[in-house]
């Protein structure tokens, strides 16, 4: 089992450090075992960026490799743009696009439950992101909510994928020769979302990224996974318990109360062979058919949009109901509350499920606000700087609780 690296945490650098002579460090906004993340600003244009720093004396330097993966993936939708990589004041430094909150941040903001509509809107994008990464001959190997970030500004509805420190080429990019099947591999990634084969020590391939993604979907819908919170004397024993639980919980039990499409997806990803190319179109279409049957609208009104809408305007509606515009919104809110009380068995516990299904609040009805500027108290960071990037250990213990 690979453990976190103790000597790679970067001492807080002075804000006087200027990266590439044009990116000024502002403040620390994230950290991990491979380095720390800082908010930076282009002193020429004033544009904010994310700066990841790694001590050049790290036993296992990772940042240069990660920058090369970003270069290989450059140009893809939802792939942050690599602006600069190099050595600065005893640090390996990487400058990339600044992004918004992670899906884990937003999940906590929405009281740890996403509606079917939001999950499918996200999954449609995420399947496409993984398809692109795989088409470039890489697998991610750490698919989890912390590594999916929403954009900011005009890209506020776009999901981006970050943290390619554990990514690996699964085939030769020219000959497309697949890497060989191997066993007895250490667990790479986050145990909570790792595929069963990853737990068993099998070399990862495309199928494992997608199995992990289905676990993420189920996590969003149920609020947790059955193998969370397991206790053990040692880390190895804990991961063994997670594996045992993951292998004994049947798909039927894991997906109980959820639409059949999710159990079909999980079974499909588990049926893939090591070198199989997943049918990404089939996976997206399966979810889209459910989306259409429920008469959802592809309007990018995510659950956090509704929560923020209520935060901004709920109090105003209560204090001034005489305004016709406010009265109209109040009527919509009443409809939403009534619709929430009428949920089928598969919808129980899903906050805002009914009103998102009916599409009662349309994008055009929501005032022009930047809904990515959320107060995400779980991270202790507000606004656009909330977890712009995640530097994670090979196995992140905190994500297995």
Feature table: binding site for ATP: 52
Long-range contacts of 193-197 (CB under 8 A, 24+ apart): 193/143, 193/144, 193/219, 193/399, 195/269, 196/243, 196/246, 196/247, 196/270
Residue 229: its H or E element? none
The interaxial angle of helices 260-271 and 280-293, nearest 10 deg, is: 180
Provide the pairing of β-strand 138-139 with 48-55: unpaired
Q: Which residues are annotated as a binding site?
A: 52
What's the rounded Cα separation, in Å, for the pair 387 and 101? 6
Residue bearing tokens 């318990």 = 241
Residue bearing tokens 């004396």 = 57
Instruction: Annotate 338-365 with DSSP letters as a single string.
Output: HHHT---GGGTT-TTHHHHHHT-S-GGG
Residue 84: Cβ within 10 Å count: 16
Question: Would you give the DSSP letter of residue 377?
Answer: T
Q: Which residue in 97, 142, 299, 303 is the catalytic one?
A: 142
Q: Is 142 annotated as catalytic?
A: yes
Classify burial at 231, counting beta carbons within 10 Å of its beta carbon; exposed 0-12, middle 13-18, buried 19 or more.
Answer: exposed
User: 98 near 49, Cβ under 8 Å?
Assistant: yes
Beta strands across the sheet bearing 91-97: 18-19, 23-32, 35-42, 48-55, 91-97, 82-88
Point out the residues that are catalytic: 142
């Amino acid at each position: 089992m690979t453990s976190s690296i103790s000597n790679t945490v970067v001492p807080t650098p002075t804000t006087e450090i200027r990266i590439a002579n044009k990116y000024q460090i502002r403040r620390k906004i994230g950290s991990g075992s491979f380095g720390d993340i800082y908010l930076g600003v282009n002193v020429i244009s004033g544009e904010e960026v994310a700066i990841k720093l790694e001590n050049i004396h790290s036993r296992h330097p990772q940042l240069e490799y990660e920058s090369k993966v970003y270069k290989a993936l450059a140009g893809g939708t939802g792939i942050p743009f690599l602006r600069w990589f190099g050595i600065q004041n005893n640090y390996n430094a990487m400058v990339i696009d600044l992004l918004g909150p992670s899906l884990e941040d937003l999940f906590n903001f929405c009281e740890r439950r996403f509606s079917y509509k939001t999950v499918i809107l996200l999954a449609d994008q995420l399947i496409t992101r993984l398809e692109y990464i795989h088409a470039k001959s890489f697998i991610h190997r750490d698919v989890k909510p912390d590594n999916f970030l929403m954009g900011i500004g005009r890209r506020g509805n776009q999901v981006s994928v970050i943290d390619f420190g554990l990514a690996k080429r699964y085939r030769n990019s020219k000959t497309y020769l697949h890497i060989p099947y191997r066993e007895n591999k250490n667990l790479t990634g986050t145990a909570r979302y790792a595929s069963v084969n990853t737990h068993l020590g099998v070399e990862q391939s495309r199928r494992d990224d997608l199995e992990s993604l289905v676990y993420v979907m189920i996590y969003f819908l149920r609020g947790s996974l059955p193998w969370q919170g397991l206790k053990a004397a040692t880390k190895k024993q804990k991961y063994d318990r997670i594996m045992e639980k993951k292998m004994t919980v049947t798909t039927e039990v894991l997906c109980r109360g959820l639409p059949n499409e999710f159990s079909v997806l999980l079974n499909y990803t588990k049926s893939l062979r090591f070198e199989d190319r997943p049918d990404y179109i089939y996976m997206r279409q399966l979810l889209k058919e459910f989306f259409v049957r429920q008469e959802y609208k592809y309007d990018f009104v995510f659950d956090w949009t509704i929560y923020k809408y209520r935060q901004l305007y709920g109090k105003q509606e209560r204090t001034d109901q005489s305004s016709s515009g406010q009265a109209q919104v109040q009527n919509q809110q009443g409809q939403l509350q009534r619709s929430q009380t009428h949920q089928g068995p598969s919808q129980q516990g899903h906050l805002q499920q009914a009103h998102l299904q009916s599409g009662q609040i349309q994008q055009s009805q929501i005032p022009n606000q930047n809904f990515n500027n959320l107060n995400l108290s779980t991270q202790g960071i507000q606004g656009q700087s909330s977890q712009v990037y995640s530097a994670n250990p090979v196995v992140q213990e905190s994500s297995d609780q």
